[in-house]
Amino acid sequence: MAKVDNMQEHYAIVVGGGTGTRMGSDTPKQFLPLNGIPVAMHAIRAFHNSKYSPQIVVVIPSAQHGYWSELCEKYNFDIPHVVASGGKSRFESVKNGLAAVQLRCTDLSQSLIAVHDAARPLIAPTLIDATFDQAARYGAAALAIQSTNSVRLKSSNGLKNNAYPRQQVYLMQTPQTFNGVILSESYKLDEDNAFTDDASVVEKKGYPITLVDGDTRNIKITFPEDLRIAAILSGTYSGCTPDDTQ
Ligand SMILES: Nc1ccn([C@@H]2O[C@H](COP(=O)(O)OP(=O)(O)OP(=O)(O)O)[C@@H](O)[C@H]2O)c(=O)n1
Ligand SMILES: C[C@](O)(CO)[C@H](O)COP(=O)(O)O
């Protein structure tokens, strides 16, 4: 794939600062093997293979920085990246990753920053490229897929539910990619329970979000069965190939 040379600086913050409670494993899910290498390494490699070759910041809980170094050595993982410390929430982890980007970036207004869950190993480089392209045009772009199930909305007291037009419902994925000024201004907001992804933070700051077609295979590893599903999907998806099998 030809690499692109333009005036903008491209960055990726891969957030792997969580503990993976729902996975129920002592080892956080981002370090568990998928097709022979840790889940997070698949995500990092996809960014490395993006035509924009972003500089990569990987957010890891500070207690596991040594473990991450050991994993990189064990798997001969030599994709250049900087390690930042995880926070108590995803919001805090992104903030820490952003601080690491800001230390390196010469002009935030000329930068594009993609934020991606380390727990989404099957992301395809072409989708990463698409979010960089749309963020360059519109400032804020996030992957999303339409619901294929019918949708009902519950009332706030939970007593009633009503059918809702599913064509208006989008399920958010990552990466979510932003102009550097937009992302850094937005992450100065106080943390809020309503912030479930980066788009919700940026939107609260007043910026519109452009939706980019995601892929149902870009799953987030959340529960144990997701690792098995990812292993099956990886055989059919360019983001992660069976060549990774150990
Ligand atoms: N304090 C946190 C919490 C989450 N994340 C990252 O955000 C992504 C999405 O979060 P989620 O799937 O909820 O991961 P966990 O918080 O680890 O999982 P759980 O909620 O089951 O504990 C993951 O890559 C996770 O590592 C993070 O960087 N820092
Ligand atoms: C950021 C995210 O992956 C977009 O779908 C999602 O909101 C993370 O949610 P989680 O409950 O923290 O896993």
Pure H helices in 2-89: 39-48, 65-74
What pLDDT does 3 receive?
A: 56
CA atoms within 13 A on the CB side of 50: 26
Query: What's the CA-to-centroid distance between 165 and ligand 2, angstroms?
Result: 23
Query: Token digits for 73?
Result: 């050595």
Query: What's the CA-to-centroid distance between 19 and ligand 1, angstroms?
Result: 6
Confidence (pTM): 0.94
Tally of structural domains, the chain:
1
Q: Is residue 3 part of a domain?
A: no
Q: Is residue 155 part of a domain?
A: yes
- Return the CATH number at 119: 3.90.550.10
What pLDDT does 241 receive?
A: 46
Q: Is residue 2 part of a domain?
A: no
What pLDDT does 4 receive?
A: 55
Query: In which domain, by residue range, is 69 found?
Result: 9-244
Which residues lie below 8 Å from residue 151, measured CB to CB, with a gap of 6+?
A: 163, 164, 165, 166, 169
Q: Is residue 75 part of a domain?
A: yes
What pLDDT does 75 receive?
A: 97
What pLDDT does 246 receive?
A: 34
Distance (Å) of CA 91 to CA 150, 193, 202, 206: 30, 10, 12, 18
What pLDDT does 46 receive?
A: 98
Query: What's the CA-to-centroid distance between 140 and ligand 1, angstroms?
Result: 22
Mutation test residue for ligand 1: of 90, 123, 193, 201, the one with most atoms within 8 Å of CB: 90
Could you state, in chain order, the average pLDDT of each consecutive group of 10 residues for the chain (246 residues)?
A: 68 97 95 96 98 98 98 98 98 98 96 98 98 98 96 96 96 98 98 97 98 98 96 72 41
Q: Is residue 1 part of a domain?
A: no
Structure ipTM = 0.98
CA 238 – CA 195 distance, rounded (Å): 30
Q: Is residue 80 part of a domain?
A: yes
Q: Is residue 4 part of a domain?
A: no
CA 121 – CA 8 distance, rounded (Å): 26
Q: Is residue 47 part of a domain?
A: yes
Pure H helices in the chain: 39-48, 65-74, 90-104, 125-138, 180-186, 198-204, 224-233
What pLDDT does 235 receive?
A: 78
Query: What's the CA-to-centroid distance between 196 and ligand 2, angstroms?
Result: 6
Sign of CA dihedral 156, 161, 165, 170: positive
Unique residue bearing structure tokens 């700051």 = 205
- Ligand 2 and 90: CB distance under 6 A: yes
Residue nearest to atom 13 of ligand 2 (CA): 222
Mutation test residue for ligand 2: of 174, 215, 218, 226, the one with most atoms within 8 Å of CB: 174
